Chains A and B, each alone.
Chain A
Amino acid sequence: MDLSLSLIIFLPMGGMLLLFGFGKRIGEPGAGIVATLAVVGSFLIAVVLAFDFINGDGPAETVRWFEWLPAFGVEAELRWDQLSALMTLVVTGVGSLIHLYSIGYMRGDPGFGRFFSYLNLFITSMLILVLANNFALLFVGWELVGLSSYLLISFWFERPIAAAAGKKAFIVNRVGDVGFILALMLIFSVFGSLGFDTVFEGAHRGELTVTMATAIALLLLVGAAGKSAQLPLYVWLPDAMEGPTPVSALIHAATMVTAGVYMVARTGAIFELAPIAAATVAVVGGATALFAATIAIAQRDIKRVLAYSTISQLGYMFMGVGAAAYTAGVFHLMTHAFFKALLFLGAGSVIHGMSGEQDMHKMGGLARKMPVTFATMAIAWLAISGIPPFAGFWSKDEILGVVFERGGLWQVLWGVGLVTALLTAFYMTRMMWLTFFGEPRWDDGVEPHESPRLMTVPLVVLAGLSVVGGLVNTPFKATLEHFLDPVFEAVHLAHAPDGSLAWILAAVSVAAGIIGIGAAILRYRSRVPVEDGLGWRLLGNGYYIDDVYAGVFAGGGKLGADWLAFRFDVRGIDGAVEGIGSLTRKAGGWLRPLQTGFVRSYGLAIIAGAVGLLAWFLSRGGI
């Protein structure tokens, strides 16, 4: 157990080191194969190790590596329970497929070896994050995924836009990390430990006051909002689309951005004690979901549609975990990983076939040219739109159900979620229609073609998962919920309603999806309407939030820096230094006349001094 669990992390780590050193020499496609095999190996080990959990309730286990920070009582220790097992399976499973896809997508790129080295670094970091048994190691993984995200967003660093996007992601994440670090400090100050077991058991014994729990939970939320691109720290994710498309699929849709959801679910014991903070999580999630969905409607870049869609879906997950429906949140995390990875990889396939074109207004009519891509993406489209029996329906429906069941103001949130579902169906249909149907609007010289087998096979597998992935947790057979029960047994879980209410809610959300799809089909069926005007421009530019941030934070920072550099430094610091110098010169100028150059006047001064001293001594009556 010890070795095999460690191997899950060591395999991609080894791949990363190998490719970092010899990636160029191994070359193409060897480097990709090495990286893919490393992740597949981790996946297989994880499957074998997870069998105990699947068969019954195998005990949660820990693997101690070494004593890390004795002063804090922190050990480098892994934890293997149902939640980390599920996350590991999603990360390595989806990760394997995306590695495979990347071999085809990155063909001919001069940084082929480097790319796979970074991808393996990401998998390693993400596994450290989900397998950590204390907050300190979790934080290490948290920062490492941020690093690999930065490296991969700015993978094509010779393009200034990509380099800037990488920096933006890194800096916005730092803002969230400040909250996370402060939360860790508070946790340590209360419990004197950073270990999961100690902290959560302590929280249960009532060692945490409500105020303190709220403070910790809100700070954790800041961290989670940074990593999972929630309001107000979401701005980095749309820009992150400058990275290669497989990166967008793996990191900025399926896995890394869900780290915040995982973290909230993991720390459920703390959020349970802080109902206000939990409600804040849900409100942030709901607001983000609706906000991002409206922006997604007006995007022309196919990847930016998906980026805003990801932000919106992450909002759903936050709504779920905020409503104490941790299973539902994690369930949506899983199904979303399937269909959103599929959508991104499909978009990558489209871009690949269109020779790099990303503007949907220059696509159209691709369904016949790219049948496999179209068919698989259509499945993902239905899944995200919440059409049964595809995966997205079950998870989204469960979250909405739980939120409705909480009653009171939560039902407002349910309404927000429902509107978001409608909008989601609308913009996804718009994307599908603009891309695959209608008249071809390709630029001259573009010859769309289906992608190679290496890229379509992962699409097909993910499509299969998007069909059946939701069936692991239906109201009729809640397998996933039972699977995760041991993790959340100490936490009070909110549940979805059952009976006729469940049917009504499901029918309403399906109706919302169908209305969204229908409206979009009506609008885009015959021709592409002109999408211009104030509203479209407002949405298309994301409510100009980027410009506001640039003006307020970047502009304010620049003003402050300018003031420091050209006012404070020049006038203040330099002024003080130069002032002391000129004061000394001036004083010297005043004293210069004393030096007459006449030796006899010096002699007079000496004698006068001697007489003066003598007089003083005599006046005191002796020496």
Chain B
Amino acid sequence: MAVTPGWYMALAAVLFIIGAGGMLLRRNALVMFMSIELMLNAVNLTFVAAGRELNVLEGQVAVFFVMVVAAAEVVVGLAIIIAVFRRRQTASVDELTQLRG
């Protein structure tokens, strides 16, 4: 059974749904972050798969962009989480509701 692009897409969809579910269901900020990374990488997988199937380089180029942005985002996000944890001794997002309207 050959691995067709459909399989890649299906895997990416599964990974994306796991990520989305993790983000919606988990309270720990760190775990939510990891879920977001999972979603980003699911998208990356679709990019490279489509790039190879269509035989173009743009897919891989887009992936590099996503990786760079994700790296930058993680730096900022982790810094915020650590700063919050130092003040509050917690990483649960459900307790961080000061911005409620």
Residues of A at the B interface (CB closer than 8 Å) are 591-600, 603-604, 607
Nearest A residue to B21 via CB reads A607
Is there contact, CB below 8 Å, between B100 and A597?
A: yes
A622 to chain B, nearest CB (A): 15
B23 at interface by CB-CB < 8 Å: yes
Is there contact, CB below 8 Å, between B101 and A598?
A: no
Is there contact, CB below 8 Å, between A597 and B20?
A: no
How does the 8 Å CB contact mask read for B79-101 relative to A, with 1 for contact and 0 for none?
00000000000000110111111
B73 to chain A, nearest CB (A): 15
Nearest B residue to A595 via CB reads B101
| Chain A hits for B94, CB < 8 A | 598, 600
A509 to chain B, nearest CB (A): 94
| Chain B hits for A591, CB < 8 A | 101
How many angstroms between the C-alpha atoms of A40 and B60 in the bound complex? 105
| Chain A hits for B32, CB < 8 A | 599-600, 603
How many angstroms between the C-alpha atoms of A600 and B26 in the bound complex? 9
Residues of B at the A interface (CB closer than 8 Å) are 20, 23-25, 27, 32, 93-94, 96-101
How many angstroms between the C-alpha atoms of A599 and B27 in the bound complex? 9
| Chain B hits for A593, CB < 8 A | 101
Nearest A residue to B97 via CB reads A597
A595-B99 contact given A600-B93, A600-B94, CB 8 Å threshold: yes
| Chain A hits for B100, CB < 8 A | 595-597
Nearest B residue to A603 via CB reads B23
| Chain B hits for A604, CB < 8 A | 24
Which of A594, A599, A600, A607 contacts B101 (CB under 8 A)?
A: A594
A596 to chain B, nearest CB (A): 6
| Chain B hits for A599, CB < 8 A | 32, 93, 96
How many angstroms between the C-alpha atoms of A607 and B22 in the bound complex? 12
**For the complex of A and B, 4 pairs with smallest distance between CB atoms:** A597-B100, A595-B101, A597-B97, A592-B101
| Chain A hits for B97, CB < 8 A | 596-598
| Chain A hits for B27, CB < 8 A | 600
Which of A594, A595, A600 contacts B24 (CB under 8 A)?
A: A600
Supply 26 A–B pairs (Cβ within 8 Å), ascending by A. A591-B101, A592-B101, A593-B101, A595-B99, A595-B100, A596-B100, A596-B101, A597-B96, A597-B97, A597-B98, A597-B99, A597-B100, A597-B101, A598-B93, A598-B94, A599-B32, A599-B93, A599-B96, A600-B24, A600-B93, A600-B94, A603-B23, A603-B24, A603-B32, A604-B24, A607-B20
| Chain A hits for B99, CB < 8 A | 595, 597
B62 to chain A, nearest CB (A): 16
B29 to chain A, nearest CB (A): 8
| Chain B hits for A597, CB < 8 A | 96-101
How many angstroms between the C-alpha atoms of A593 and B97 in the bound complex? 13
| Chain B hits for A600, CB < 8 A | 23-25, 27, 32, 93-94
Is there contact, CB below 8 Å, between A607 and B93?
A: no
How many angstroms between the C-alpha atoms of A607 and B99 in the bound complex? 21
Nearest A residue to B99 via CB reads A597
**Given A591-B101, A592-B101, A603-B32, 17 further pairs, Cβ under 8 A:** A593-B101, A595-B100, A595-B101, A596-B97, A596-B101, A597-B96, A597-B98, A597-B99, A597-B100, A598-B93, A599-B32, A600-B23, A600-B27, A600-B93, A603-B24, A604-B24, A607-B24
| Chain A hits for B23, CB < 8 A | 600, 603
| Chain B hits for A594, CB < 8 A | 101
How many angstroms between the C-alpha atoms of A232 and B11 in the bound complex? 99
How many angstroms between the C-alpha atoms of A592 and B99 in the bound complex? 11
| Chain B hits for A607, CB < 8 A | 20, 24
B101 to chain A, nearest CB (A): 3
How many angstroms between the C-alpha atoms of A125 and B80 in the bound complex? 82
| Chain A hits for B98, CB < 8 A | 597
How many angstroms between the C-alpha atoms of A600 and B21 in the bound complex? 10
How many angstroms between the C-alpha atoms of A595 and B101 in the bound complex? 5
Nearest A residue to B26 via CB reads A600
How many angstroms between the C-alpha atoms of A607 and B36 in the bound complex? 12
Nearest B residue to A601 via CB reads B24
| Chain B hits for A595, CB < 8 A | 99-101
How many angstroms between the C-alpha atoms of A596 and B93 in the bound complex? 12
A255 to chain B, nearest CB (A): 78
How many angstroms between the C-alpha atoms of A592 and B97 in the bound complex? 14
A592 to chain B, nearest CB (A): 4
A585 to chain B, nearest CB (A): 13
| Chain A hits for B101, CB < 8 A | 591-597
B98 to chain A, nearest CB (A): 7
A461 to chain B, nearest CB (A): 93
Nearest B residue to A594 via CB reads B101
How many angstroms between the C-alpha atoms of A592 and B101 in the bound complex? 5
How many angstroms between the C-alpha atoms of A598 and B32 in the bound complex? 13
How many angstroms between the C-alpha atoms of A592 and B100 in the bound complex? 8
How many angstroms between the C-alpha atoms of A299 and B7 in the bound complex? 116
